[in-house]
Amino acid sequence: MARMYSHRRGKSGSKRPSARLKPKWVQAPPEELKRIVVNLAREGHSKSSIGITLRDRHGIPSVKSATSMTVGEILKEAGEDPMQAEDLNLLIKKAQGMRRHSEKYRSDRLNVHNIQLVESKIRRLAKYYKKKGILPADWRYE
């Protein structure tokens, strides 16, 4: 996958299958898959790691095609609290790590530039989440 601000060529690699039907090799009923998703969430896994676990351990390429519900919808139905802005939290954690690196290695100018790019992405994503109502309107990244 090419980065947004790199001098590399475009994206290449495997693409997600476009079929929206349940694959023939998935034998588990949707109720069983929903139970697995809820159990993984109770163990402390995030939504993305639940999808990866289902793909790698159980051979389910897409939770939505197998259960006709997304991981977030399954967790909401079960009364679990799905983390809404998981990608935003991961970007904030990444920026904090980059800031710590920048304090330790002051001459790393490339890191300063990359912090600016990550924080710009955080602000764009926060603007989107405010518009969707996931984040409160007065939320600010500092």
**57-89 residue pLDDT tens:** 888 888 888 888 888 889 888 887 777 788 899
Residues 26-52 have pLDDT tens digits of: 888 889 989 999 999 999 888 889 989
Residue that terminates a domain, selected from 60, 78, 96: 78
Answer whether residue 39 is part of any domain.
yes
Percent pLDDT > 70 in the chain is: 87
Give the closest residue to 63 by CA, choosing from 1, 125, 132, 16.
16
Q: Which residue has the higher pLDDT, 10 or 107?
A: 107
Whether 68 and 102 map to the same domain: the answer is no
Chain centre distance of CA 33: 20
Residue 34 is part of which domain span? 30-78
Q: What CATH number does residue 97 fall under?
A: 1.10.287.10
